[in-house]
Amino acid sequence: MKILLVTYPGGPAAKKEPRLLGCVENALGIREFVESKGHTLVSISDTGTEMEKHLKDADVCIATPFWPAYVTRERIAKSPKLKLLLTAGVGSDHFDLAAAAERNIDVAEVTGSNVVSVAEHVVMQILALVRNYIPAYEEVIGGGWDIAKVAARSHDLEDKVVGIFGMGRIGQRVAARLKPFDVTCYYYDNRRMTTVEEQVVGTRYMPLEAMLPICDIISINAPLTPATQEFFNKKRLASLKKGVYIVNTARGRIVHTDALVAALKSGHVAAYAGDVWYPQPAPADHPWRTMPNHAMTPHVSGTTLEAQKRYADGIRDCLTRFFNGEAMQRDYVIVEGGRVASPSYAYAFEKKK
C-alpha cells in the first residue's frame, strides 16, 4: 500500500527541531510506523507534477491545510487506487469532496487538533491591529522614535464591539479568550448556542446583517463553502463600519482579494490580519503581501509544535484504523460511504451536485 504525504519543506529547521512533525523531512513522525506495517510512505512538498505522478498509484493521500495538496476532480479521476484522503489539521476544502464521495473515497481530518492554537493566534492578531503593533515594531527596527505616528492609530481593545462570523470550536474559544478584555461580543452561525453556552463564552447571537455593520472588529472563523466563498466582497466590505478591523484565520477565499486591497487603500477597513491566503503557498506577487495596514502571516496559526503533535497523533490513529479495517473516529469523518457526513461540509456537497 502506498501512502502519499504532501506538506511543507522544513529545511534546516527540520534538523534542529524534531518536534517539527508537520514538515516533509519529519513526515508526521509516521514513517517508521507505516513501513513497519509493510507499506510505503512517500513524503513530498511538490503540489504539481510530482504530486500527480505519485497520486496515480497512491492508496492514501495526506495533506496539511498549511501547504494544501489540491486533490481536484481531475486528479481523483486519474487515481484509481485512491481510497482515503486525510487532512493533518482542520479544513479539507483542498479536496474535492463531491468527487471523493462519488468515487466512494473516504475523507477525514483531525478535528479539534489545532483549535486552541488558532484561537490564540486570532487574539494576538486582534491586539496587533488595534494597538498598531506592527508599525511600532518597524519604528524601532528603523531606528526611529516617532511616538505620535504610532499612537495616532492605537486604541484600547476594551469596550469595542467584536463580531465572530462562525461560532464553531475556534469561534467559541476566541470569544472565551476575549471575555477578560471587556469587549461586547456578538456572533453569527447557522447553529445558535444555548443561553448557558453563550454566557459561558461571553457572547450573544445576532442576525448577520444586523451584526456586521456595528462591529469594530470582525473575526472570520467559518468554513469555506459555496455560501462563504468571497462572502466579504466589495459590496459587503462597503457595508461594514468605517475603520473596522478584520482578522481571518479561516480561509483566504472567504474574502475577495482585490476588494480587500481597495478597502484598505481607501481606509474604509482600518487594518486586516490573518494567515490564510488563496492560493497557498501565496505567490511572491500576491497583493496581500504589499497592501497597506496589514499584519499577515503565512498559514501558521494552527501548526504550533503542540498542534503538530496533536494532528500527527490523529493521522496515526486514522491510518491504524484504516489498516485494520476499522471505522474512523466520528468527529474526524468528513466523507464516508459515498456521502458527505460532516454538517460543516454537507452544504458544499449539495451545491455541487
pLDDT tens for 56-68 read 999 999 999 999 9
Residue 245: enclosing H or E segment and its boundaries?
strand 244-248
Question: At which of 248, 274, 296 does a domain end?
Answer: 296
Whether residue 351 is predicted with pLDDT greater than 50 in this model: the reply is no
Check whether residue 179 and residue 223 sit in a common domain. Answer: yes
Q: Residue 340: what pLDDT?
A: 87
Of residues 348 and 155, the one with the higher pLDDT is 155
Question: Quick check: helix, strand or coil at residue 314?
Answer: helix
Check whether residue 165 and residue 231 sit in a common domain. Answer: yes
pLDDT bracket for residue 352 (50, 70, 90): very low
Query: What's the average model confidence in pLDDT over 265-277?
Result: 97
Check whether residue 98 and residue 121 sit in a common domain. Answer: no
Q: Residue 349: what pLDDT?
A: 45
Whether residue 342 is predicted with pLDDT greater than 90 in this model: the reply is no
- For residues 217, 187, 124, 158, the Cα torsion angle rounded to the nearest 10 degrees is 60
pLDDT bracket for residue 26 (50, 70, 90): very high
The domain tally of the chain equals 2
Q: Residue 341: what pLDDT?
A: 85
Q: Give me the DSSP letters along 129-189.
A: HHTTHHHHHHHHHTT---HHHHHTT---STT-EEEEE--SHHHHHHHHHHGGGT-EEEEE-
User: Which residues are part of the catalytic machinery?
Assistant: 114, 251, 280, 299
Q: Residue 353: what pLDDT?
A: 40
**Mean pLDDT of all residues belonging to the chain:** 95
Check whether residue 55 and residue 126 sit in a common domain. Answer: no
Tell how far CA 225 is from the center of its chain: 13
Greatest extent of the chain over all pairs of C-alpha atoms, in Å: 65
For the chain, what's the residue count?
Answer: 353
Tens-place pLDDT, residues 73-111: 999 999 999 999 999 999 999 999 999 999 999 999 999
In the chain, % of residues over pLDDT 70: 97
Tens-place pLDDT, residues 170-190: 999 999 999 999 999 999 999
Check whether residue 22 and residue 121 sit in a common domain. Answer: no
Q: Residue 268: what pLDDT?
A: 98
Domain containing 26 equals 2-113+304-352
Check whether residue 93 and residue 236 sit in a common domain. Answer: no
Residue 335: enclosing H or E segment and its boundaries?
strand 333-336
Question: Quick check: helix, strand or coil at residue 243?
Answer: coil
Check whether residue 274 and residue 320 sit in a common domain. Answer: no
Check whether residue 45 and residue 126 sit in a common domain. Answer: no
In the chain, % of residues over pLDDT 90: 95
Whether residue 323 is predicted with pLDDT greater than 90 in this model: the reply is yes
Question: At which of 275, 296, 317 does a domain end?
Answer: 296
Query: What's the average model confidence in pLDDT over 181-200?
Result: 96
pLDDT bracket for residue 203 (50, 70, 90): very high
> How far is 141 from 146, CA to CA, in rounded Å?
12
Whether residue 248 is predicted with pLDDT greater than 50 in this model: the reply is yes
> How far is 216 from 208, CA to CA, in rounded Å?
15
Helices 169-178 + 115-130 axis angle, to 10: 50
Check whether residue 92 and residue 131 sit in a common domain. Answer: no
Check whether residue 322 and residue 202 sit in a common domain. Answer: no
Whether residue 350 is predicted with pLDDT greater than 60 in this model: the reply is no
pLDDT bracket for residue 346 (50, 70, 90): low
Check whether residue 84 and residue 97 sit in a common domain. Answer: yes
Check whether residue 191 and residue 134 sit in a common domain. Answer: yes
- Which CATH number belongs to the domain containing residue 61 in this structure? 3.40.50.720
Amino acid residing at 230: E
